[in-house]
Chain A
Amino acid sequence: MAKQLHEPVQVVKQRRDAALKALVEGVPYVRFLGIEFDRRGDELTAVLRFDEKLIGNPLRQVLHGGVTAAFLEVAAIMTLSWSYLWPGIENGEIDVERMAAGELPRLPRTIGFTIDYLRAGLPRDAYARAVISRSGRRYASVRVEAWQDNRDRPFAQGSGHFLMPPEEAAKG
């Protein structure tokens, strides 16, 4: 299905937001942790809403290191998935309504992931952005950084390699 050259802005936004919502809400663990995504064009920022259940120390109010690791991994996979699905969402090869109904395309899978803990995760919201360093047909490499109050003072950084789904899978 060919789309007209300049679609109305609401149509474009609605399609992209619906696709992103389907991706995020389709994964139970992402909902469980309370991770949301802000979108500016194709750029994503992951947001982890603080909750008492995310605390990793009975004596101090700090985020569990595993939650931080999971947050970085989710941000990396979602950024990679979004970049991989974007052309199909834009040219109509991916049916966003089917995605919203729960028929998600196959997504990248983690091969390995490394996390460096730079500071304690404070009991407040956290943000993360990922950058795709290498995007190959079989696997992709992503680096990701998370911060809280100050963008220039990340509390964790990570990098990982991800197995890409077979090519025809992007069409849903």
Chain B
Amino acid sequence: MADKVKIARQFIEAIPHARELGMQLTELADGRAEITMPYDARLVGDPKTGVLHGGAISTLMDTCCGAAVMSHPSAPGGTATIDLRIDYMRAATPGQKITARAHCYHITHAFAFVRAEALDEDSAHPVAVATGSFTVERG
């Protein structure tokens, strides 16, 4: 189990696009993952306000959901996103780090179901929430 989490961690830390965005895996165990992403001017969607683009938040949540699936005790290996729904509650505060938390709450032979939220430093009010389904890849 510990080995599997270690492999999942190495896998996630080696994803080229996640590295490009400066993502850091801060928690990974038993179907739960937490990943942070620093504020980056290249990811801004509204230059007037400096608010991050929703796409960057989606990318963080997709990565975090995949990590949660890989860390689930019943997951044999890799995963791929089947669908992902994201609701944006509010603009992320410019300059603040974004933290995504994902929970793989149900897994079958072939599919995994995940919920996630994205937070800035005001962790009482999520920036966005996501639900997704993922494949469970064997072998």
Kindly state whether residue A58 has any CB partner on chain B within 8 Å.
yes
Min CB distance A103 to B, Å, is 9
Given contacts A53-B17, A70-B58, A110-B54, contact A65 B86 (CB under 8 A): no
Min CB distance A46 to B, Å, is 12
Min CB distance A80 to B, Å, is 13
Contact of B58 among A59, A69, A104, A117 (CB under 8 A): A69
Give chain B's interface residues, CB within 8 Å of chain A: 11, 14-18, 20, 41-48, 52-56, 58-63, 66, 80-88, 91
User: What residues of chain B lie closer than 8 Å to A107, measured between beta carbons?
Assistant: 46
Min CB distance A87 to B, Å, is 22
User: What residues of chain B lie closer than 8 Å to A28, measured between beta carbons?
Assistant: 41-45, 47, 53
User: What residues of chain A lie closer than 8 Å to B14, measured between beta carbons?
Assistant: 58
Whether A29 contacts B18 by the Cβ 8 Å rule is no
Number of interface residues of A (CB under 8 A): 38
Q: How far is the CA of A65 from the CA of B80 in the complex (A)?
A: 8
User: What residues of chain A lie closer than 8 Å to B62, measured between beta carbons?
Assistant: 64-66, 69
Q: How far is the CA of A107 from the CA of B63 in the complex (A)?
A: 27
Q: How far is the CA of A58 from the CA of B84 in the complex (A)?
A: 21
Min CB distance A17 to B, Å, is 20
User: What residues of chain B lie closer than 8 Å to A69, measured between beta carbons?
Assistant: 55, 58-59, 62, 84, 86
User: What residues of chain A lie closer than 8 Å to B20, measured between beta carbons?
Assistant: 53
Contact of B16 among A31, A55, A112 (CB under 8 A): A55
Whether B84 contacts A65 by the Cβ 8 Å rule is yes
Whether A52 contacts B16 by the Cβ 8 Å rule is yes
Q: How far is the CA of A28 from the CA of B47 in the complex (A)?
A: 7
User: What residues of chain A lie closer than 8 Å to B44, measured between beta carbons?
Assistant: 27-29
Q: How far is the CA of A117 from the CA of B135 in the complex (A)?
A: 11
Given contacts A58-B14, A113-B54, A113-B86, contact A64 B59 (CB under 8 A): yes
User: What residues of chain A lie closer than 8 Å to B15, measured between beta carbons?
Assistant: 55-58, 64
Q: Mark A42-53, 1 if CB is under 8 A from B, else 0.
A: 000000000011
Q: Mark A83-110, 1 if CB is under 8 A from B, else 0.
A: 0000000000000000000101001011
Whether B42 contacts A58 by the Cβ 8 Å rule is no
User: What residues of chain A lie closer than 8 Å to B55, measured between beta carbons?
Assistant: 29, 33, 66, 69-71, 73-74
User: What residues of chain B lie closer than 8 Å to A56, measured between beta carbons?
Assistant: 15-18, 63
